[in-house]
């Protein structure tokens, strides 16, 4: 019974932890430029994962081919996805809207999997695509009226494309790579890319205030290590589709957290859009189970 209760609780814990990533980004970004913030965070997380792998006696030397594949996946998942999210929030995009837009990732994966992975798209999934798109438009409407810089919207668009591409690559070329070491190498490669981006853009400033240190530690321990390891455990014990469906629960959780922590208000249209987006993604994911 105890094992069953843990298994039942784990998905909701993952949603809670993952949703705080958007809040943590907004909490720490006033004290650091986005790319250098991520680069340092990811390098530290890589070291932590290598240490965990060593303690658990998991493989660390996984070969050049696996390292190359891990690096490619990491560039899209961490440099493009996380980099896009952090950059968009630094430009003024709200944490709630960032969560909603990136929650469409499972929808795009389902569409592209038809060609990339040879999977079929059902009528229910097609309906989910249109419903999800409608929800995003409803949520983004008030934000666009608030004159958010276009760079913020471009950044979150890159994040969505990055997470979608990384998921497809993981399914196609990354399934046989040891999880702990593979993720650590993802961090090493993507951290290097983000570091280069920071120096090229001139954004290398970090103010090590108490608030930034708290956000930094939270994002490493809870997101880069805790949430990622929990995600890997869920993938090992359940289907990829069922785990992906959890992401549609992230935007409501993020919106509630952002309301209490930052006073980000979500009007009736925004809540309606969140609900419609959740319904659309659920329709897509349900048909793949």
Phi, psi of 279 (to 5 degrees): -60, -45
The per-residue pLDDT for range 60-73, each reduced to its tens digit, is 988 999 999 999 99
Tokens 């965070």 correspond to what residue? 41
pTM, full prediction: 0.80
Q: How much is the pLDDT for 246?
A: 73
State the DSSP H helix or E strand holding residue 162, giving kind and residue range, or none if neither: helix 150-173
Q: Give the C-alpha separation, 276 to 270, whole Å.
A: 10
Please give the structure tokens belonging to residue 52: 């965990």
pLDDT of 35: 94
Query: What pLDDT score does 117 carry?
Result: 66
Give the CA count within 13 Å in the CB-facing half-sphere of 184: 19
* Low pLDDT (below 70) residues in the chain: 1-8, 96, 117-119, 121, 140-148, 232, 235-245, 266, 285-289
Q: The tokens of 164 are what? A: 């979608």
Task: Tell me the C-alpha distance between 262 and 28, whole Å.
Answer: 12
Check residue 238 and report its DSSP letter.
Answer: S
Q: Give every CB contact of residue 8 below 8 A, 6+ residues apart in sequence.
A: none
Could you tell me if 243 and 234 are in contact, meaning their C-beta atoms sit under 8 angstroms apart?
yes
Give the pLDDT score at 147.
62
Tokens read off for 232: 């890997």
Which two tokens mark 19?
Answer: 């949703």
Digit-coded pLDDT (tens) for 180-219: 899 999 999 999 999 999 999 998 999 999 999 999 999 9
């Amino acid at each position: 019974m105890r094992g069953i209760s843990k298994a039942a609780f784990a998905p909701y814990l993952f949603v809670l932890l993952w949703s705080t990533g958007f809040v943590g980004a907004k909490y720490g970004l006033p004290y650091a430029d986005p790319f250098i913030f991520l680069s340092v965070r990811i390098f530290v997380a890589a070291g932590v994962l290598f240490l965990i792998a060593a303690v658990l006696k998991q493989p660390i030397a996984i070969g050049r081919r696996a390292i190359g594949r891990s690096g490619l996946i990491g560039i899209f998942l961490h440099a493009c996805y996380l980099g896009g999210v952090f950059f968009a929030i630094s430009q003024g995009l709200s944490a709630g809207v960032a969560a909603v837009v990136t929650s469409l990732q499972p929808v795009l994966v389902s569409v592209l999997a038809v060609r990339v992975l040879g999977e079929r798209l059902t009528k229910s999934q097609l309906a989910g695509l249109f419903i999800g798109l409608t929800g995003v438009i409803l949520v983004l409407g008030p934000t666009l009226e608030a004159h958010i810089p276009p760079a913020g919207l471009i950044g979150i668009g890159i994040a969505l494309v990055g997470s979608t591409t990384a998921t497809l690559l993981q399914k196609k070329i990354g399934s046989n790579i040891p999880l702990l070491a593979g993720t650590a190498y993802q961090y090493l490669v993507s951290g290097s890319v983000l570091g280069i981006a920071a120096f090229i853009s001139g954004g290398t400033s970090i103010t090590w205030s108490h608030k930034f240190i708290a956000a930094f530690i939270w994002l490493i321990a809870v997101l880069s290590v805790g949430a990622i390891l929990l995600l890997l455990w869920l993938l090992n014990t359940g289907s990829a589709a069922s785990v992906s469906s959890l992401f549609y629960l992230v935007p409501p959780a993020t919106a509630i957290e952002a309301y209490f922590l930052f006073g980000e208000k979500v009007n009736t249209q925004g809540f309606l859009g969140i609900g419609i987006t959740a319904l659309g993604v659920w329709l897509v994911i349900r048909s793949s189970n």
